[in-house]
Structure 1
Amino acid sequence: MADGVEVVPARRGRAIRLGAGQALRVVNTHGSQVVDTWAFIAHDMDEFLSMPHLHATLGGIFPVVGQPLHTNRRRPILLLEEDTSPGRHDTVIAACDMHRYALLGCRDYHDNCTDNLHAALAAIGLRSAVTPAPLNLWMNIPIGADGRIAWAEPLSRPGDHVTLRAALDCVVVLSCCPQDMIPINGAACTPTEVHFEVLG
């Protein structure tokens, strides 16, 4: 990998500090990995990227290149500057947690994005009292005309990437979703690592 490129290991999370104007490029290295993504205002963890508020400003459920992504106080926090994938990213589904895996029949502890979020924040000395609904990069959740959803494989390809530019000083958390019981991480149901780079 090139200088400056870092890894989010499979089934784990990373927190990255961005100054206003900096950008984060996230690469779907193997093409089928869903990445739960959060952003918090650096000096106020009570303000964060919010999917319900995003829906109102987008007028839809899919992020669009060139449009800002808003917080729960309706301020732009990130801009989706670039997206080489087909553009299907989920903004509807909550982060997986131990309760989700229990409902799927898992009796033992299962790695999950909720715990990854809080562990990643703790690793840089931060905490959040809540688990906001994430922007699920590359997660493909088709919604039918009747309003019902399906759990589909990602449409992304190896090397597809998105670039998110910070509008405000913020902390972005990426979690390589550990889901291995349904095919949101591809037909093989095998979580993989992704790579990222902070750009000026």
Structure 2
Amino acid sequence: MITELIRQRRSVFPRQYNDRPISRADLETILEAANWAPTHRKTEPWRFKVLLGNSKDALGTFLATKYQETEEKPKKIKIKKLLENPSKAAVVIAICMQRDPAESVPEWEEVAATAMAVQNMWLCCAEMGIGAYWSSPGLIQYMDEFFELNNGERCLGFFYMGHYDGALPEVAREPIADKVVWHE
């Protein structure tokens, strides 16, 4: 049942991934799930850049270098994490949003639609036993220096993916009743 899958979805971080690859067919299934997200006025703003192999290492090098160039007091532990996380993942997908040139909907709706596409991917990963994590470092503002982005396209973060060993922790949530106001 979908509600159970939603409850089982977790953030699984690159340090938890093993060396098992993710097949191209599985990646295509995950990306196809993204393509069925809701979209106002059918703008379909989600765009994805799939990094495999050496391109993951290049991303790590770019992020670590850019962090050192832009941070007044760069921390060695963060440099190491930025450098190594992409290579620990089987796949890194850059999550991008292409703004509707006609601006027929507010930008926040385009961002929301892209986030729903990522949620579809995440749920698909959970169902397939693939760990995933959405990271949105401040460095995404510089991704036009790494990727060729179209006019009106911007990077919203990275979706790290990989197989993992062992069980994931249980998670508790505050009751929904604490977050809802009923008007009758």
TM-score higher than 0.5: no
Between the two structures, name the one with larger relative contact order (CA 8 Å, sep ≥ 6).
Answer: 1
Q: Which has the higher helix share?
A: 2
Rg larger in structure = 2
